[in-house]
Structure 1
Amino acid sequence: MPDRPEIVCICGSTRFVTEMRAANRDLTFAGVIVVAPGEADEVVTDEQKAALDALHLRKIDLADRVLVVNPGGYVGESTRREIAYAEATGTPVEFTDPV
């Protein structure tokens, strides 16, 4: 038995918030600790987006693996950057849909 549950960082486009919430729910019920992108109900400024992007990379640092939520194979620019970061740091990356 591991010392702690697996930690998974969810990545993906904010257009897939419903799918990311479902992945979060499913992983949580499977006993996984989930870290996910922050959500905002209002328009985010460029400065806020830059801060959130940097924070998400730190979330990847905490994770045992990354799960990219990519319905239809879509992977946007920010998510590509997160995937490249995860791969560069040796964090395994999986996708919900073929790329």
Structure 2
Amino acid sequence: MARRCELTGKGVMVGNNVSHALNRTRRRFLPNLVKVTLMSEALNRSVKLRISAYALRSVEHRGGLDAFLLKQNDDTLSTLAQGIKKEVRAALAA
């Protein structure tokens, strides 16, 4: 399973540990991923996603999963999230 947020696309970054003597060793900065169950009002069902804590705050700020998905660009969404976005769009159009 990739260490990547399914909604924002935030992933692993690399950098250096820098000691007091300025010795540099490579390290990885992992995203703060959380397994959450979000409710979709348009689909009337819950959806399990692995998203970053930042994305969870963004979902709540934008007014729920449906509003977040409709505003989010498809390039950052995972294939699962793109499918959910397509279902939400169809449900709102009907």
User: Which of the pair is proportionally richer in strand?
Assistant: 2
TM tier, shorter chain? 0.3 to 0.5
More helix as a share of residues = 1
Q: Which has the larger radius of gyration?
A: 2
Higher relative contact order (CA 8 A, sep 6+): 1
